[in-house]
Amino acid sequence: MKDVRLHAGIPVKPVYGPEDVSADFERDIGRPGEYPFTRGIHRHMYRERVWTMRQYIGFGTPEETNGRFKYLMAHGQDALNVAFDLPTQLGLDSDHPRAEGEVGMVGMAVDSLADMEDAFAGIPLDRVSVSLTINGMAAPITAMYYAVAEKQGAAPDRVVTTPQNDILKEFVARGTWVYPVEPSLRLVADLIEFSARHYPRSNPVSVCGYHIREAGCTTAQEMAYGLAIAAAYVELMQARGMAVDDFAPRISFNFTCWGKIFEEVGKFRAGRRLYARMMRERFGATNPKSWMFRSLIGGGGSAFTVQEPENNIVRGAYIALAAALAGAQTMALPTYDEAYTIPSAKAQLIALRTMQICAEESGAADTVDPLAGSYYLEALTDEMEKKIREEMAHVERMGGIVEAVKSGTIQAEVARQAYLFEQRLTTGEIAKVAVNCHVGDKAADADQEVELYRFDPKVAEAQVTKLARVRRERDGGVVASALRRLGDEARGSTNLMPAIMEAVKAYATLGEIAQAMKNVFGEHKEPVKW
C-alpha cells in the first residue's frame, strides 16, 4: 500500500473513524463565530457575505495599473490588491542607478504622491478596500495612500486599507528589507499606532505566512511562523503602552493555500484556534474581535507550472475551493500564465471568474464549515495543531522569532525545507502532473500560446520624466524642511508617521524619504547561515 505523508510531515491513514477524533466539541470545535473560532470567525460566514475577491494587480505606470483596476472592478472584483515594482519596494526612485531595468517590471512604479494620485484616480477610497503589498516602505506608501484619500475628501473612519507592513516576513523569506531589524520594527509599530489612532478601519499589518511558504517552509511552519510574528508585533505594541484591544482587532493575515485540500483546511482551522487562545490567554485580550484570525487566503504562484499552463486553471479552481472550505475572508488566485509572465487581462479575468464560480455555483458557500465532523478532518485539525505548536516551541528555543531572524537561523531552516521539497519533487514523492508524472510532449510545451507581457522601455522614461516634473514644480524649501524634520525625529523615539505624512504631502519622493531615514538607521546586512 502506498505511504502518504502531508507536507507538514503528518502520515495519512487509509481510513479514519470515531476512534481518531478526541477533540472536546465545546472546547476545541465549538460554534462558528464563537471562541475559539475553529469553524470560522463569523456565525453565518458566506450565507451572509461571500469572501472578498482581491486579485493582485500592478505593472508599468500608475496610469496603466489604474486601467487594470477599473477593468477588473467592471467585471465584479470588489476590492484591490496592489503590486509595486522592486525599486518602490526598496525605496529607490525610478531614476536611481539601481532601479535601471526594473522600473514598472513586476509591479507599479511609485515615486511620489503624484503617482498614487494617478493610480487611484476615479476610485473612491471611502468605498473601495485596498491592500498595499509593501513592507520595508509600508510607512511612506501608506502615508501616500492616506494623503490621496484626504485629497478625495474621504473621512478617515471610512478608509479601509491593508498595508502588508510585515517586515519580519521580509527578513525571513522575501528580501525587500531596507533598514536593520530594530528600526524596521519601529516603523511597523509607528504605522500600527498611527493608523489605530487616526484610521480606525485600516488594517495596518497583514502578517504574511504566504511568502514564507512560497520560500519553502512546510504548512505547519507557515502557520507557526505567522503566529510567532503576530505575537512579536503584539509584544512590540504592548511595550509602547498600547492596550491589546486598541490595535489587535485590526491585525490581519495573508496565508497561502495550495497542495492537498484537507491539509490546508486543517491548517486554517487549527490556526484560528491557536490564535484565539494566544490572544485571550497569553495577551489578555477581552474584545472577541481581538481573538479573530482574519485572513486573505491565496494560492501561491509556485503551485503553478510552465508545463501545460492551462492545467493551472484547474489548479486555481482547487485552490479556490480549499480557501472557501478553510474559511477565507478574502481570496486571491494566481493566474494560469504566472509561471511565464506578468498576468494578462484575460488570465486575471479567468482567475476572477474562478472565484465567482466557486462562490455562486459550487455550493462551497452554502453552509458554514461544511467539512466539520469528518473523522479525517477533525483528526487532521488536531494533528496540525500539534505540529504547529511543535514548530512554535522550536522558534522559542531559537530565542524567539526576532532573535531567530537576526541570527539567520529561521532563514536557514526555510532554505533547508525548500531544498527537501525540491528533492521530493525531483524523486516524484510529491506528484506534479505534467512535471514528474503524466508528462506530455516537451516539444509541445515550447509551443504553448501564452500572451507574454511585453515590457515597454518607455515606461521608465515616462516615470523619470514625471519625477523630474514633480521635483521642478514642488516647493523645494518645504520639501527640505520636511526631510530635515524626518531625519531629526528618526534620531529620537517619536512616532515617525506625522513627519512622513508631512514629507509626502510636500511631494518629497519615496527615495528621498527612504534616504532621510537610511542616513540615521543604516542598512540591513543579511546574516548567512549554512
Indicate whether 151 pLDDT > 80: yes
State pLDDT tens for residues 241-261. 999 999 999 999 999 998 899
pLDDT at residue number 74: 96
Distance between CA atoms of 257 and 263, rounded to whole angstroms?
9
Helices 261-277 and 311-326 cross at an angle (nearest 10°) of 30
Of the chain, the end-to-end C-alpha distance in Å amounts to 37
Looking at residue 451, its pLDDT comes to 78
pLDDT of residue 457: 83
Least confident of 222-231, 300-309, 312-321: 300-309
Q: Which of 214-223, 339-348, 477-486 has the lowest mean pLDDT?
A: 339-348
Chain centre distance of CA 259: 18
Grid cell in block for residue 215: 520560500
DSSP state of 526: -
pLDDT at residue 445 greater than cutoff 70: no
- Cell 477533540 appears where? 23
Q: What is the mean pLDDT of residues 25-48?
A: 95
> What average pLDDT does the segment 345-349 reach?
94
Tell me the C-alpha to C-alpha distance, in Å, between residue 421 and each of 96, 215, 388, 493, 528.
38, 10, 18, 43, 21
How far apart are the C-alpha atoms of 149 and 367, rounded to whole Å? 37
Side chain identity, residue 279? M
The structural domains of the chain, with segments of one domain joined by +, span: 41-446, 458-521
Pairwise CA distance, residues 46 & 250, whole Å: 21
Q: Which CATH architecture fits 41-446?
A: Alpha-Beta Barrel (3.20)
Instruction: Judge if the upstream peptide bond of residue 249 is cis by omega within 30 degrees of 0.
Output: no
Q: What is the rounded distance in angstroms from the CA atom of residue 41 to the CA atom of residue 39?
A: 7
Alpha-carbon gap, residue 159 to 202, rounded angstroms: 7
- Which helix (H) or strand (E) covers residue 296, if one does? strand 295-298
- Tell me how far the alpha carbon of residue 414 is from its chain's centroid: 18
Mean pLDDT along residues 331-348? 92
Mean pLDDT (whole number) for 157-170: 98
Give the C-alpha separation, 184 to 188, whole Å: 6
Q: Is-contact 508 476, C-beta < 8 A?
A: no
Instruction: Determine the pLDDT at residue 446.
Output: 58
Of residues 461, 378, 314, 263, the one with CA closest to residue 19: 378
Say if residue 344 is exposed, middle or buried (CB neighbours under 10 Å; 0-12, 13-18, 19+).
Answer: middle
Nearest to 109 by CA among 55, 58, 68: 58
Q: Where are the alpha helices (DSSP H) in 331-374?
A: 345-360
Q: Confidence class of residue 25 from pLDDT cuts 50, 70 and 90?
A: confident
Q: Which helix (H) or strand (E) holds 371?
A: none
Q: Where are the alpha helices (DSSP H) in 153-260?
A: 167-169, 181-198, 209-215, 219-239
Average pLDDT of the chain is: 95
Q: Which residue has the cell 520594527?
A: 185
User: Given pLDDT bands bounded at 50, 70 and 90, which one contains residue 443?
Assistant: low
What band does 301 get if pLDDT is binned at 50, 70 and 90?
A: confident
Cα–Cα distance, 434 to 26 (Å, whole number): 45
Instruction: Mean pLDDT check: name the lowest of 23-37, 221-235, 468-482.
Output: 23-37
| Cα–Cα distance for residue pair 513/137, rounded to 1 Å | 10
- The closest alpha carbon to 354, from 55, 47, 79, belongs to 55
- The model's pLDDT over 256-295, given as tens digits with 9 standing for 90+, comes to 998 899 999 999 999 999 999 999 999 999 999 999 999 9
Task: Determine the Cα–Cα distance for residues 170 and 185; give it in Å rounded to an integer.
Answer: 12
Query: Mean of the pLDDT values across residues 290-319?
Result: 93
Does 49 have pLDDT greater than 80? yes
Q: How far is CA 70 from CA 20, 56, 119, in A?
A: 50, 13, 10
Distance CA(253)–CA(294), nearest Å, equals 6
What is the rounded CA–CA span in Å between residue 39 and residue 43? Answer: 9
Please give the average per-residue pLDDT across 87-108, as a whole number: 96
